[in-house]
Amino acid sequence: MNQLDQLKQHTIVVADTGNFKQLAQFAPRDATTNPSLILKAVQQSEYAPLLQEVVKAQGRAPLERVVDEVLVRFGLEILKVVPGRVSTEVDARLSFDTACTIARAHHLIGLYERAGISRERVLIKVAATWEGIQAAKALEHEGIHCNLTLLFSFCQAVACGDAGVTLISPFVGRIYDWYKKQAGAAWDEAANAGENDPGVKSVSAIYNYYKHFDIDTEVMGASFRNAGQILALAGCDLLTISPDLLAALQGSDAPVSKRLDAQAAKALPIHAHTYNEPQFRYALNEDAMASDKLAEGIRAFAADAAKLDRMIEELRK
């Protein structure tokens, strides 16, 4: 078997793309999207007609409603290909507004349900700020399942577990990027590869914590820079992988071994943690990497959301 097929024996494989025409060849169970991936897709000639069709059908509807229609349309197309779930993201500009995040999530779920899609097949993607985590907690109580994204720190993961969210997406590659940049010329790639990769270490610690304390929240490693990071997390609940790296795994038949194990985590000497709001904010502030990458990620997703807004406005002229 190739590495992708071997990986699927240990981990649920998810495709990290808005390009639904690529999905079938990798046979992922789920798919994730984000504002940057959707923006990238609608700029391609093969998807431009889809954007134009949605915008025309919405007429002079409020801009945020048109955007949601575009996001859900991509989600609906993805769900024709994958048997499981699609993640659809709430506008990153609402990352510090609990009430507006909840309202936007309700609208997205409503669009899916009106299209005949059960909410069980949709994960509402929300940034793992304190406000986003509280929004997700409320949504989960309503049976709306959430994927907490832009997660870089242990305190974010603990708070998400305590909130009962369905799934978290810790970002392996962006953690790696930060430490590599900080080290500069002193960075030793070989010494920081595999299980020693800082992003891999972060996800492994979160996974072991959840399994040790029987926390139901699923861990989905995300944002990979190379296949080595993916293989070092074989055994994680889920891994969301870009088409380029899915193809790389499909093109190799090197052996893949399980690296994370829920039963092994039970025996680890792990202490329980909990964070109220002041403790959470202080812990996040003390983690320079997580603070930097969370802020950077929100800004980047917000910028791409604004670009999509402008594309829609141009089409409506």
Our answer to whether residue 201 is catalytic in this structure is: no
User: What is the band of 88 on the pLDDT scale with cuts at 50, 70, 90?
Assistant: very high
User: What is the band of 317 on the pLDDT scale with cuts at 50, 70, 90?
Assistant: confident
What's the structural domain count of the chain? 1
Note down the domain range covering 91: 3-316
pTM of this prediction?
0.97
Q: How far apart are CA 293 and CA 268, in angstroms?
A: 29
DSSP strand E in 12-84: where? 12-16, 30-32
Q: What is the pLDDT of residues 11-46, one digit of tens each?
A: 999 999 999 999 999 999 999 999 899 999 999 999
CATH code of the domain covering residue 211: 3.20.20.70
Q: Which of 125, 211, 258, 266 is catalytic?
A: 125
Query: C-alpha distances in angstroms, 40 versus 18, 45, 93, 247?
Result: 8, 11, 19, 19
In which element (H, E) is residue 125 found?
Answer: strand 122-127
